[in-house]
Structure 1
Amino acid sequence: MTQPGRPAGPSPETEAVVLTAALELLLTEGAVSLSAQRLHAATGVSRSTIYRHWPTPREVLSALIRVAPRRAAALSGKVGPDLHAEVDVLCDRLRDKPVDGFLQAIVAGAAWDATLAELRRRYVDDLLAPFRTALAPTGLSGPALEDAVSAIVAPLLLDALLLNRPAARERAHRTVDTVLDGLRQ
């Protein structure tokens, strides 16, 4: 038996309209633009619907992270080639406006809204996860695994977030080789 009342979540069409507009606003105006009033003006979806499903900018960002495509390279089980493939995927993602722009906006947003820091961590963690997976056959764990992942990824994020330049793919490939050489010793 079906209970009368409002559905638990937005319809797929409403969600697509609101989140598409939210991403565009985020990329052009930053996280501060994700208010219900601004989303209503951009989409025509009622403010009450937006407030019900995405009551804060944090909820909008969380929904965007949830629906963001996660791309990873196909793993061969060979650590070196897998890490190189993951570097290429991350460099491509950081070059593409949605990922680069989203990452910049969520980092900036976390500066004015401490609740966004957890979302920033979650989003970055999603970017790092394929590197952890590719390094799994080495047996690394804990801090040693995180150090290896950071050594490879941190310079790419530095390029994208702080230096506003394309991720240095060739340097990242050299870093992978350096990390792997260190593991062999």
Structure 2
Amino acid sequence: MIKIVESSNEADTDADRVNPRTRRVREAVLSVAVEVLVEHGAHEVTAARIAEQADVARTTVYRHWPDQRSLLLATIDALTTPHRRTESVGSLAEDVRVALVQLRSRITTHDVRSVFGALATHAAHDEAFSDAQRRFIEQLTQPTRDVLNASQQRGALQADVDCDLEARLLTGPILHQHLAWHDTVTDSVLDLVVRRWLTTHDDP
């Protein structure tokens, strides 16, 4: 289940942040916008459609998001769930595999392809979408960075290892398999990624 969270938006006002009714309306609109995005694509995230499905006036949508660009950015940010630190469960190999299994679950449970496609369409021409794309990918891969940082802190991973870079190297093949090739990320794929990575990062 996707959890909707408040995301900062330049159209917000101080009153919006303290008015409970305004916040509830805003959350309801974003919840509908998320459903439309993942079910029908970015081109359907319009003020007219969202207002109709959320049963609010179109002016209510425009008050928070004056154009489709700002509405779509807010919708994408609403998909980002609050991150909870991923705890270590065992050896370096076990921790890495658990993190990749979690990644596989997240990208197959939610329609990540639709979101990523919407971001990719706009990111090349709009810095705000490029930043949103980066935040979205970082949120997906954060658990892998968590286990690498924890392994490094307990001495299971060399101190000079760049955990951010290694997390990208580990998660990159999984994301590419799912997003680019539209192939199933099987257990054998996960095991292969972990084995190859461990050849250069075995427990010291």
With normalisation by structure 2, the TM-score equals: 0.72
Match of 2:25 among 14, 22, 26: 14
Instruction: Tell me, yes or no, if the aligned pair for 2:170 and 2:193 is still in contact at 8 Å.
Output: yes
Q: Which region of structure 1 is more displaced relative to structure 2, 74-83 or 58-67?
A: 58-67
* Distance in 1 of aligned mates of 2:78 and 2:159: 28
Instruction: Tell me, yes or no, if the aligned pair for 1:128 and 1:149 is still in contact at 8 Å.
Output: yes
Residue 90, structure 1, aligned to residue 103, structure 2: yes
User: Structure 1: which 5+ residue stretches go unaligned?
Assistant: none
Match of 1:152 among 170, 180, 187: 170
Residue 61, structure 1, aligned to residue 77, structure 2: no
Correspondence for 1:178: 196
Instruction: Tell me, yes or no, if the aligned pair for 2:96 and 2:147 is still in contact at 8 Å.
Output: yes
**Deviation at residue 171 of structure 1 after TM alignment:** 1.4
* Distance in 1 of aligned mates of 2:86 and 2:47: 37
Same amino acid, percent of matched pairs: 22
**Deviation at residue 120 of structure 1 after TM alignment:** 0.5
* Distance in 1 of aligned mates of 2:103 and 2:190: 10
Structure 2 CA distance for partners of 1:50 and 1:165, relative to 1, 3 Å: same
With normalisation by structure 1, the TM-score equals: 0.78
Cα root mean square deviation, aligned: 3.0
Match of 2:148 among 135, 146, 155: 135
Structure 2 CA distance for partners of 1:135 and 1:6, relative to 1, 3 Å: closer
Structure 2 CA distance for partners of 1:75 and 1:44, relative to 1, 3 Å: same
* Distance in 1 of aligned mates of 2:170 and 2:135: 18
More helix per residue: 1 or 2? Answer: 1
**Deviation at residue 84 of structure 1 after TM alignment:** 0.9
Q: Which region of structure 1 is more displaced relative to structure 2, 62-71 or 165-174?
A: 62-71
Correspondence for 1:38: 49
Match of 1:117 among 91, 108, 130: 130
Instruction: Tell me, yes or no, if the aligned pair for 1:152 and 1:172 is still in contact at 8 Å.
Output: no
